[in-house]
């Protein structure tokens, strides 16, 4: 298993952070790690919704939302032959606002290999997402 984590303290309310986090289609506006994010079929995001994601240097994939907790976070997962990725996005109260925790777990024989060889890209993209979300929620981007 390959595990990656990024976390940031964000000087904003959980509601402000959630508004940015839950507006999936706008992610490319605040993180260069995403070229396109689109809920398949135009449905509202929530458990069971499928989300198409295109990222630079990675093949496009469709993720399925498995947990959706407004104001607190969500989880989605993607499976292809040899790889299962589970990405968690958590917003936790903190004395200085909220703590954002992003976590990506990659499993499967190919997931372990990709996790090892793609670690620097994965870590860079997760940092871009955490920093971009922080800037957008704090109103600096």
Residues 141 and 135: their CA atoms lie apart, in Å, by 5
Lowest mean pLDDT among 24-28, 40-44, 58-62, 70-74: 40-44
| Separation between Cα atoms, residue 48 and residue 35, nearest integer Å | 23
Q: Which residue has the higher pLDDT, 85 or 44?
A: 85
Evaluate if residue 140 carries a pLDDT over 80. Answer: no
Is residue 28 within 8 Å of residue 36, measured between CB atoms?
yes
Looking at residue 141, its pLDDT comes to 64
* pLDDT value of position 114: 82
Residue by residue, DSSP assigns 58-71 as: S--EEEEEEEEETT
Position 123 scores a pLDDT of 97
Residue 77: C-alpha distances to residues 7, 13, 47, 104 (Å): 19, 26, 11, 9
Share the mean pLDDT of the chain: 95
Q: Determine the pLDDT at residue 113.
A: 79
- Number of domains the chain contains: 1
Q: What's the CATH code of the domain at 32?
A: 3.30.530.20
Determine phi and psi for 111, rounding to 5 degrees: -60, -40
Give the range of the structural domain holding residue 23, as residue numbers without chain letter.
Answer: 2-137
* Burial (CB count within 10 angstroms: exposed 0-12, middle 13-18, buried 19+), residue 11: middle
* 43, pLDDT greater than 90: no
Res. 1 pLDDT band, cuts 50 70 90 = confident
């Amino acid at each position: 298993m390959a595990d990656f984590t990024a976390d940031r303290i964000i000087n904003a309310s959980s509601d402000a952070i959630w508004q940015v986090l839950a507006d999936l289609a706008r992610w490319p506006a605040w993180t260069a790690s995403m070229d396109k994010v689109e809920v398949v079929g135009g449905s509202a995001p929530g458990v069971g919704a499928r989300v198409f994601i295109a990222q630079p240097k990675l093949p496009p994939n469709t993720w399925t939302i498995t947990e959706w907790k407004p104001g607190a976070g969500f989880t989605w997962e993607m499976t292809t032959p040899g790889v299962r990725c589970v990405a968690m996005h958590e917003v936790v109260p903190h004395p200085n606002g909220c703590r954002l925790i992003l976590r990506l777990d990659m499993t499967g024989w190919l997931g372990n290999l990709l996790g090892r060889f793609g670690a620097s890209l994965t870590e860079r993209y997760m940092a871009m997402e955490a920093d971009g979300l922080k800037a957008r929620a704090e109103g600096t981007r």
